[in-house]
Structure 1
Amino acid sequence: MTHDPTAPYDILIIGGGFAGLSAALYTARGMRRGVLCTAGPSRNAAAQHTHGFLTQDGTNPAELLQTARAQLAQYELPIIEAEVTQITGENNAFTAHLTDGRTIQARKLILATGVQDILPPIPGLREEWGRGVQHCPYCYGWEVRDQPLALYQPGLTGPDGLWTILYHQKLSRDLLVCGTGPHDFTAEQREQLQGVGVTLVDSALERVEGIPKGVRLHFADGTSAERAVLYTHGERKLNAALAETLGCKIESGGIFVTPNNQKTSVDGVFAAGDVSTGNQVAFAVAGGARAAMFAAFEILSENMPTWARA
């Protein structure tokens, strides 16, 4: 299928992770003229394995992304290794300005710009991120089940805090829970937690040390503990500057999208992946595919001849 090279692209996809590449694949297979611009390093760059992704469980995420790019090449959808710094215009007439000085015109946008994990400022934590320090029991939990584990999450209290602890305790009856100081649980709650294998450490975590089979945790009172994995949940910073400039509605969990079609609150703008719908590769791939499909449907509807309209 040939395209007028001077015409605007049908769909501009911003972000070269799992959501963006999935959107690019569906854009191409939907016979739409698309282009993808990268949006910085992948959140999965530090991870060694991707889990929970059907047929690819345990595969290195970098290898999955390389394979996706290689398979996408046959569709001749260009991938531009430059970031989009600004977007102007409106539905069917967007202009994206790139770091390399180029501009791109497109009818629809798919934002797959991802998030950044802002980790607690504890020495050694960043160095062990993706190895002995993990953020998600679904992404990395089965492999260390029934082993000594730890959770670092300051401020746990009440029913929500107990839920968070028990969510991790399902992996092991030897779970150490630590933070920046004493935990705010009652004596009864502490006894109940201890009964299911949870140890509350009231001394602050000061340093994380990588060891051959996990991490060694060092506490302010001079004690230490070896664990197969330390789970921690740092701040998720949305890469949503472009979405904010466009006027997209943004909630605490990400860019607001209508679940069935990934539409944002701005006409012609769709979003997918961690920046909008969760923290799993499977979700990102599904969201990217859905965004591209419905962006293409929208273009088809707009292009319908008058005789075909109801």
Structure 2
Amino acid sequence: MSDQLRDRYDVVVIGGGAAGLNGALMLARSRRSVVVLDAGEPRNAPADGVHGLLGREGMPPSELLERGRSEVRGYGGHVVAAEVVDAVPEDGGFVVSLADGRSVRSRRLLVATGLVDRLPEVPGLAERWGRDVLHCPYCHGWEVRDQAIGVLGSGPMSHHQALLFRQLSDDVVYFTHEAPLDPEQAEQLAALGVRIVDQPVHGVAVTDDRLSGVVLADGEVVARDAVVVATRMEARVAHVAGLGLPVAEHPSGVGTHVPADVGGRTEVPGVWVAGNVSELTAQVGASASLGAMAGAHINADLVAEDAAAAVAARVGARA
């Protein structure tokens, strides 16, 4: 279901994941006119269920989002399936352009477009992503507990991932690949019983549509049931380039994000961000919380602007 798109809103929310929908919910409950523009490309689409979210544990991502859309609509907000191609400041507000030629204006913007996971360039990983090629122990770890797990050294978080997944299984192998260990890290993993394979990885083996091993440079196949990778996470903002949002390396070194204050306000006047576009490691619950925070701050900003305009009008009437 999609709603009729109006010409103008108090707030346009770009991105209909947990952050965008929860931000819109806060705004709609504050009686703000708000629309969520959603291209329908959620990051967690390959996942079977949402985990670590109290009261919604294991719920399919599509069901969670559909409930969220229904809740936003229940308070008068709109949710429109649309691909945004640009957004630019105009006359103290913004114009958001859509791929089908339409455009919509708003006083404020909430950008909740998430991130893109860049997987290591190892054949076979992308096809298994979200199934038995994983990245987050809190999202997928329970599902692979006690299995044979391989951790592919692919980024600054790889050693940390090995520690986290060792909590879930006694059978963990660390493949140094592109992230060799320093002596202290190697000693730590060895002490925990993690086997270290110091050889490049050339691919993954699949048997009966299930991952069955990691293929090394010399052709050896190390039997594994799941492979953990550290993706490079990049804020998805190319389609709102006209806003001039700053993109910077995340302090953790795992990718790029849009810096913002605690309420999601960016350095671009009138633009807030929420969810993975600003906080790369946020899970669904945290992203929803960041969206709610941003929605409340946007409403407060509009309240202040409306009050100032009312005072100016009152003073003008007296004059």
Task: Provide structure 1 residue ranges, at least 5 long, that are not aligned to the other structure.
Answer: none
1:183–1:200 Cα contact (<8 Å) kept: no
TM-score, with length taken from structure 1? 0.87
Cα deviation, residue 79, structure 1: 1.9
* Cα distance in 2, alignment partners of residues 114 and 182 from structure 1: 26
- Structure 2 residue 261 is matched with structure 1 residue 258: yes
Task: Give the alignment partner of residue 205 of structure 2, picking from 204, 209, 213.
Answer: 209
Q: Which residue of 1 aligns with 2:272?
A: 270
* Cα distance in 2, alignment partners of residues 153 and 6 from structure 1: 49
| SS, match of residue 116 in structure 1 | strand
- Structure 2 residue 182 is matched with structure 1 residue 177: no
* Cα distance in 1, alignment partners of residues 22 and 95 from structure 2: 22
2:96–2:105 Cα contact (<8 Å) kept: yes
**Matched AA of 2:288:** V
* Cα distance in 2, alignment partners of residues 287 and 84 from structure 1: 22
Task: Give the alignment partner of residue 197 of structure 1, picking from 179, 189, 193.
Answer: 193
Q: Which residue of 1 aligns with 2:96?
A: 96
Cα deviation, residue 302, structure 1: 0.8
Give CA deviations for 1:124-147 in whole Å, capped at 9, x if unaligned: 211111111111111111232333
CA 1:223 to 1:131, structure 2 compared with 1: closer, same or farther past 3 Å?
Answer: same
Cα deviation, residue 175, structure 1: 1.2
* Cα distance in 1, alignment partners of residues 12 and 142 from structure 2: 38
- Structure 2 residue 150 is matched with structure 1 residue 150: yes
User: Which residues in structure 2 correspond to 1:24-103 (within 5 Å)?
Assistant: 24-90=24-90, 92-103=92-103
Identity %: 35
* Cα distance in 1, alignment partners of residues 240 and 7 from structure 2: 24
TM-score, with length taken from structure 2? 0.84
Moved more, 165-174 or 274-283: 165-174
| SS, match of residue 138 in structure 1 | helix
| SS, match of residue 79 in structure 1 | strand
Q: Which residue of 2 aligns with 1:235?
A: 232
Q: Which residue of 2 aligns with 1:282?
A: 285
* Cα distance in 1, alignment partners of residues 311 and 104 from structure 2: 30
- Structure 2 residue 114 is matched with structure 1 residue 114: yes
2:87–2:240 Cα contact (<8 Å) kept: no
Query: How large is the RMSD of aligned CA atoms in angstroms?
Result: 2.7
2:10–2:32 Cα contact (<8 Å) kept: yes
The number of equivalent residue pairs is: 300
1:182–1:201 Cα contact (<8 Å) kept: no
